[in-house]
Amino acid sequence: MGEVFVYCTANCLELKNVSFSYGDKEVLHSVNMSLKKGGQYAIVGPSGSGKTSIINIITGLYSINSGSIAINGSLLNDRCLKEWRRWFTVVSQDNLLFSTSIKENLFFGLDSLPSEEEIVLCLKKACLDGVISINDLEKNIGEQGMALSGGQRQRLQIARAYLRKAPIIILDEATSNLDVKTERCVLNNLLKLHEYDISIVISHRLSTIIDSDVIFFIEDGQLLDQGKHRDLVERCPSYRLFVQKSFLEN
């Protein structure tokens, strides 16, 4: 599986005065964020506000127009992209599964093979232990995982993310197909136990982000405000409106 990459602790992820464009259209404007070790962060805002663009630039998928992105003070522009991306594990709402066995989907992209104990634990962390056992690993999940339910497909991707053990985890609408009870179980297992140095969640569900240490509220490519949910409701009219609409939609 190639050379094993030894992760360091992610003490801080920082964006300073970051602007970014798709072609001629600027979609992020002078964004500043500081994410510290041990923190649980959420990025929220209306559709098209720039949330996923932030994920794309911090993982090095796109180059920024201006500003800087750094981990532990080391700039993205000064690092090898392959090495930089190993700081992150990303779980999106897209179905990134292969038409192979459960085992091959779990092991995809890993530097070394996990032990049986680690496999059992990852299934438990993703609340899949009642659905998939160690004896089911050779089962084929079908074309794009269609042998599994939508929620099970998402949880299998989360289990794979756990096995990767990167310091920073990003969940981009990664629990959208889970019921609230299962979602709470998964998030408690992954995030509340501080398995990661830094966790970032993007979600339209208030139940997913409401307990975050810091919520970054993005609108029209600008970081309008940041703080805990209750504080933002009190002082940020745009966030308050966003919350009201979210209640109506859910």
DSSP assignment of 186-244, as one string? HHIIIIITT-SSEEEEE-S-HHHHTT-SEEEEEETTEEEEEE-HHHHHHH-HHHHHHHH
Per-10-residue mean pLDDT, the chain, length 250: 59 97 94 95 94 95 96 93 91 84 90 89 90 92 87 90 89 87 83 77 87 95 97 96 78
Taking the model in full, what pTM does it have? 0.89
Q: Which CATH architecture has domain 93-165?
A: 3-Layer(aba) Sandwich (3.40)
Class of domain 8-87+168-178+187-250: alpha beta
Q: Which pLDDT score, from 0 to 100, does residue 249 have?
A: 64
pLDDT computed for residue 6 by the predictor: 52
Closest CA to 20 of 243, 221, 233: 221
- The sign of the torsion formed by the CA atoms of 62, 198, 184, 182 equals positive
Domains 8-87+168-178+187-250 and 93-165 share a fold: yes
d(CA 106, CA 122): 9
Domain boundaries, the chain: 8-87+168-178+187-250, 93-165
